[in-house]
Amino acid sequence: MRLAGPVFRRPARRPRMGRRRAGTMIYVTAIGDGEARAHWIDRETVVWTVDPSLTHALAFAPAGGIACHDGRLTGHAVTVPLTPGELDDARRRAWPHLAGGTALKLRREDAGRVKEALRGQVVAVARDGSGAVAAATGVQIPGVLDDVYAGAVRAGLGPSGRLLPRLALWAPTARRVELALGGRRHAMRLDEETGVWSIRGLPTWYGKDYTYRVTVYSPAAGRVVTSEVTDPYSLATAPDGVRSRLVSLDDPALKPPGWDRLAKPVPVPLDRAVIYELHVRDFSASDATVPEELRGTYAAFGHDGDGMRELRALAADGLTHVHLLPVFDLATIPERRSDRTEPGCDLAALPPDSERQQEIVALTADRDSFNWGYDPQHYTVPEGSYATDPDERIREFRAMVAALNEAGLRVVMDVVYNHAHSADVLDPIVPGYYHRLLEDGSLATSTCCANTAPEHAMMGRLVVDSVRTWARQYKVDGFRFDLMGHHPKANILAVRAALDALTPERDGVDGRSIILYGEGWSFGEVAGDARFDQATQANMAGTGIGTFDDRLRDAVRGGGPFDADPRVQGYGSGLAGAPNGAPANGSEEQQRERLRHCTELVMLGLTGGLRDYVLPSGRAGSQVGHNGAAAGYAARPDDVVSYVDAHDNETLFDALVYKLPAGTPMADRVRMQVLSLATVLLGQGAAFVHAGSERLRSKSLDRNSYDSGDWFNRLLWDCSAGNGFGAGLPPRADNEAAWPYARPLLADPALRPGCAEIGAARAAFGELLRIRASTPAFALGTAEEVRRRLSFPAGGEGVIVMRVDTAGLDPRWDAVVVVLNPTPSPCTRAPGVPPGRRVALHPVQAASADEVVRRSSYDPAAGTLTVPARTAAVFVINAENSS
């Protein structure tokens, strides 16, 4: 999902062919105008914006068919009166978006009708003094379901059991549920207290495919329907997710050798983590050192190819985690290789600025092997297209985790519970419940697709249970929540609590070592805590659950993700002394003012985005602005995930292609790439890097490569193949407006780096990793320590000097001093070193292959540091008692 923010709306994504599934789509239908504006929030309260002079009631019809003709209601079996009242404070807090409505109360004697009413059509009715119908609307029922079936949050769901399997489905509004397995239908039993239907089976059921046949009133159809659906708690599926498959994840056949004895790399807290964002298919699809049948699969991580050798080298340098883009069962890639079609043309033979590559890629985009994967179908099943055979997905996924752990890397999953590819997995089971509806009863789609509603108890529980399964059964070490701001804060904290309860003795994993972070953007129907306290940047402060810091990203890159002119410059892209002449950058005075602001945002990012850190300007982080919000929002360093590029938007290299002056030599582009990455790696908080940024990865200027095929998403471990730049004009749908800027750049051979430049970038990145790992200076741990030890002496004109006092933390050095010089000229600054102290370039940079950084020096007579142009240099001040 697009890493934009803080206020964001994702652009509409091109429709892509999904897998065929049974079931109904969710369109709440009521009599008359098709709306559902009444909300039944608990067993005694309905909220509806009404005329108080009217009388109100709920009408029920077990099989549907309620209609209104000439002011008369027909087709209903029962009507119960409603009495106007006030929403009390507790209900206003629980349902803030309904706080302006009228509370309509059911009589106590009608409490016994609630469960049966919920199994049919429910309509809210208002009548005038003559008894004629003045208004009628459908009723949204999630609140009353959560109240009446509150015990369901503790009931067993999905597949369970060892010798004798048990299957359980929460479907409280269903009239009948049958299990379809082995060519037979088996009746399931309803627990009236919880609304859970269950059945106990035989050992012979394991390995068989199954579905549920749910008979339920459907507001979309206006009648009772029977839908055949998969299990929302599926642990395995048939290829393409068309049926669930009954398995026990404890089955030895589903475990790679040594799985139960897997040794984990030493855990690190979030603020010490260095996270590498990687797509499973990108990792090996273009790697000729991997056998063709393994390319693009989980199994490639178990092969000693160029990619795994590079991951081991990065781990040795200091990388701690690999973050995998979505690897749950997704809807938009055919899982059998024989059902997929790849582009059949030699794309490399076409001109670097041609339109033909993107045209050819688009022809097979709906049937090829590539998609970012933000299209969830089954939340707790590994994606089958990444397996050599979809039936081997569980074992091969586990083997991938083991291979990465053995390489010294912990594994993070990108999870997407805020929406589903479509509503036809969840909605047919409990119509109108699992997906968030707007005030009029229409489906909310602000995420891109069918928004889910984790504020509802059983959707929230599904999130917690799914994450817990990935942690226990797949030994996943971290979770990144897509569009986390669409979750309640309480839901994400419940995930944290569930993980913290996992112990090595009982569960085989230490849940407290699992890191959590996500996108804390606020937009759509939930924006501004409209429906609940969101899991947004500001709200998550103090929890240690990280959120992406778009302030640092925008300051370093320049502009924002949706600029009409992509040449707006920032701290790391030429704003400090290398103007590109684009009118979008404004006047010289405007550029100077923006440089001051961007520099302050970078300094704030280096503190971990702390809201109460006082910057050299005298302003606290919370007093610095960014897009109408406080730039500083973190209460502690692990509240922030720092980054300058990710899978969304142009890669860092591509952004610098647009923004640096056209004639900038490639060697200087490499230096600015490294300096930009240094703002992430040399600051407090988690450091997050897009795979390939350390080797100048390009997507040929594609700003949204989610469905751009392998071609535009290549991750090239062999530098002789280049870095991906000049692969043709990026796909028209999301990039055509930028083609006039892109075309001459893609045609310029000077913008295609060779092995020397790619190697230089990778070497410098490795040095930054080793520097970060060498000292506690970049992981001070608490806001108090950051405020006490970190300062910004002697900066100005774009140059940042950051000093971190390490006395008492590091016996070798009393302080570490970072100088970021993004300007095209050497800089000299005085960091306030006491006379007689020994100051030296950090040992890693003193031995660097980069002769430019080695020229960084300290003049003891003047007490000044001198750093070359476009350079990030790190100095150490030796402890008084060290030699």
Active site residues: 482, 519
How many Cα neighbours within 13 Å face the side chain of 145? 26
Distance CA 471, CA 816 (A): 37
Could you tell me the sign of the dihedral formed by the alpha carbons of 284, 286, 289, 292, in that order? positive
Cα separation, 498 vs 694, in Å, equals 35
CA 434 to chain centre: 20
660 vs 676: CA distance, rounded Å: 13
List of residues 6+ apart from 378 with CB closer than 8 A: 230, 232, 234, 237, 241, 244, 328, 329, 425
Distance, C-alpha 275 to centroid of its chain: 13
> CB of 865 within 8 A of CB of 828?
yes
Provide the β-strand partners of residue 40.
46
Find out whether 539 and 533 touch, Cβ atoms under 8 Å: yes
The whole-angstrom separation of Cα 846 and Cα 856 is 9
Residue type at 212 in one-letter notation: Y
The first and second tokens of residue 159, run together, are 């597949």
Strands 72-74, 67-69: pairing kind = antiparallel
Least Cα distance to 816 among 803, 832, 799 occurs for: 803
Q: What is the DSSP string of 263-313?
A: PPPPP--GGG-EEEEE-HHHHHHT-TTS-GGGTTSGGGGGS-SHHHHHHHH
| Single-letter residue type at 48 | W
- For 390, other C-beta atoms within 10 Å of its C-beta total 23
For residue 728, which of 367, 458, 355 has the smallest C-alpha distance? 355
Number of H helices, E strands in the chain: 22, 40
Q: Tell me the two tokens of residue 52.
A: 């108080």
**391 burial type by CB count under 10 A (0-12 exposed, 13-18 middle, 19+ buried):** middle
Among the listed residues 376, 309, 368, 373, the one whose alpha carbon sits nearest the alpha carbon of residue 342: 368
Contacts of 562 (CB under 8 A, 6+ apart): 4
Strand partners, 820: 800, 872
Number of Cβ within a 10 Å radius of residue 784: 10
Peptide bond into 561 cis (omega under 30): no
Cα distances (Å, whole numbers) of residue 532 to 294, 438, 453, 638 = 45, 14, 11, 24
**Which tokens sit at 398?**
């586990």
Assign 857 to helix, strand or coil: strand
CB 686 within 8 A of CB 641: yes
Residue 749 CB coordination number (10 Å): 7
Instruction: Tell me whether strands 244-245 and 274-278 are parallel, antiparallel or unpaired.
Output: unpaired
Classify 392 as helix, strand or coil: helix
Q: Is 777 helix (H, G, I), strand (E, B) or coil?
A: helix
> What sign does the CA torsion over 244, 249, 252, 258 have?
positive
Q: Are 602 and 571 in contact (CB under 8 A)?
A: yes
Say how far apart CA 642 and CA 628 lie, in whole Å: 20
CA distance 262 to 280: 21
Beta bridge partners of 865: 829, 858
Tracing tokens 């964002």 back to the chain, one arrives at 277
